[in-house]
């Protein structure tokens, strides 16, 4: 909604369609309530690209991981993100229970790892808790603070 190009990634085309369907449904509710024009909704949907390929993260400035709350799974994802993402990319986890420092420890760039705990439902709850790990840099925190609402759905697993 803030004008960003968004890439939504999931493991199967079916999962991607479910995710995109949820976004479409949410936008339709905003249009029905007069909080969003149909044109703005279509424009926002037009900025979303879907993929099953993880290497699509290569040029991202910010990646938000949203797998389930299991350190082993998050660690596997962050090892891959560390390998694939460009230097300077902020790697964010949507964890609410796992310490960010534990997730950051599996990367070669713990200074670039932050927590972004979104409150549900994301389109209605305009709140995102930004969590610093022990080695998270000020610049990574600042990047996460710029406008969390704007990129709440920027990347998803």
* pLDDT for res 34: 93
Q: How many CB atoms lie within 10 A of CB 11?
A: 11
pLDDT in tens, 36-61: 899 999 999 999 999 999 999 999 99
- Is the model's pLDDT at 90 over the cut of 50? yes
pLDDT (0 to 100) of residue 129: 87
Q: How far is CA 128 from the centre of its chain?
A: 11
Those residues with Cβ within 8 angstroms of residue 139's Cβ, 6 or more apart along the chain or in another chain: none
| For range 138-148, the mean pLDDT | 82
Identify the active-site residue in 117, 132, 135, 149: 117
For the question of residue 117 being annotated catalytic, the response is yes
């Amino acid at each position: 909604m803030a004008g960003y190009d968004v890439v939504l990634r999931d493991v199967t085309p079916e999962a991607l369609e479910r995710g995109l369907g949820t976004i479409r449904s949410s936008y339709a509710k905003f249009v029905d309530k007069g909080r969003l024009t149909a044109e703005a909704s279509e424009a926002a949907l037009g900025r979303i690209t879907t993929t099953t390929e993880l290497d699509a993260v290569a040029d991202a400035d910010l990646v938000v991981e949203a797998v389930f709350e299991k350190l082993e799974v998050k660690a596997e994802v962050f090892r891959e993100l560390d390998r694939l993402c460009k230097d300077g990319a902020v790697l964010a986890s949507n964890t609410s229970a796992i310490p960010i420092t534990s997730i950051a420890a599996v990367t070669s760039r713990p200074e670039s790892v932050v927590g972004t705990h979104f409150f549900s439902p994301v389109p209605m709850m305009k709140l995102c808790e930004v969590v610093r790990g022990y080695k998270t840099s000020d610049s990574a925190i600042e990047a996460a603070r710029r406008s969390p609402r704007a990129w709440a759905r920027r990347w998803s697993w």
